[in-house]
Amino acid sequence: MKFRLCTFNIENLFTRFDFSAFTEDRSVKYLPPVVQFLGDYGTGDYTSFPEFKQFVQTALLSQADDKRQHTALALTEADAHLCLLQEVDDFKALSRFLDSYVKKTSGESYHNRVLHEGNDMRGIDVAAISVRKFPFYSRSHAWLTGSWIDDTDSGKALLDAFPLAKSKARSLRSRRVLRRDCLEVVVDVGGQEVSLFNCHFKSMGGWDSEDSLATRQAEACMVREIVARKFDDPANALWAICGDLNDAQRFRFVSSVQEADGSFDETEKEEPACGEDTSGVDPLLFDGFGVNLLDTLPEADRWTHYYASERHKTQLDYIIASPALVTKMRGVPQVVRSGMPCRVPNTGQHSRYPRIGWDRPKASDHCPVVVEFNI
């Protein structure tokens, strides 16, 4: 049976307004650019707060409709039976988006929907949706603490292999390790159960920070241990770890010098070393435990995110499958790029949805990744 799986960070699917930037400089970057440019915030003068709130609401409403139409178009192009989503406000926001945008774009309502509230301080969660013929059941792993992973021989051995993760996990013995959640979704495909684990690891803000890397590696060790405990023989079971893992094994740096044909030279480099290991996703791939399906694409096509200030393309969005599931993959993965902003270098060959802008509006700052299986 054909089964199409998608992972997509849909970027701040909120039905609320965040006014914390009025007094908190850290949050300014989450305000619409026009508010950052024209807004008067951070002054501590609360007498003007109602006017500022109205300004933020007006700016968001003026931009949100195009953005959500583009997000819906990207999901429609992915044409997946089951989608694992990141950065969703809550279940109400998810349902409103599916009913008001996706259904009108594709005619598909994604009848099966789930979201468990996770650990994120901003309130962004992971979610899963599927078409009617692929119902699923789910559970959250957001509650797991550092002591849980260090409680078995396999967990101890994994932490020994990744010293940064070991230190972080043991510092969180009585606290939650996952910054959002690991949402486990089990779906029946042609009479066989396929287990999917939707994750959104800690942001790469300060991506050369050893502590930041240690957090992502600890999250990856946690997710690997969840999978290892579920199956007696993980290599021969059908599972995939998906989502925005917020780390890359290599970077594709884009020159700022434009060539005569309008293109920019790109150079592939491994991530600068930080500690003994260089990537937060390494524990999921270590010893062939999982396979990064985007590695089947040419190097130049493996990226899913463009970081403009550093001018580099990276793969932050993953479908890491078990060896058994890899054998059931049809063709190669698809990275949907039609919703990218036009400022991403060397992407002129990709068509864009109507009204996609230079920087905004856009479908998301991440590209959906789609893989088709025959199970």
pLDDT tens-digit profile, the chain (375 residues): 999 999 999 999 998 887 777 777 777 877 888 888 888 777 777 778 888 888 888 888 888 899 999 999 999 999 999 999 999 999 999 999 999 999 999 888 899 999 999 999 889 999 999 999 999 999 999 999 999 998 899 999 999 999 999 999 999 999 999 999 999 999 999 999 999 999 999 998 754 588 999 999 999 999 999 999 999 999 999 999 999 999 999 899 999 999 999 999 999 987 554 444 579 999 999 999 999 999 999 999 999 999 998 999 999 999 999 999 999 999 999 999 999 999 999 999 999 999 999 999 999 999 999 999 999
Domain boundaries of the chain, sorted by first residue: 2-374
**Topology (CATH) of 2-374:** Deoxyribonuclease I; Chain A (3.60.10)
Taking each continuous run of H as one helix and of E as one strand, the counts in the chain are 10, 16
Please choose, from the candidates 244, 210, 223, the residue with its C-alpha nearest in 3D space to the C-alpha of residue 178: 223
Give the pTM. Answer: 0.95
Which residues fall within 8 angstroms of residue 298, CB to CB, at 6 or more apart?
none
Please, where are the H alpha helices in 245-338?
A: 282-285, 323-326
Neighbours of 264 (CB within 10 A): 14
Tell me the C-alpha to C-alpha distance, in Å, between residue 60 and each of 67, 85, 118, 309, 334: 10, 22, 25, 23, 31
Cα 259 versus chain centre, distance: 32
Q: Fill in the DSSP letter of residue 80.
A: -
Tell me the C-alpha to C-alpha distance, in Å, between residue 44 and each of 20, 21, 87, 89: 12, 11, 30, 28
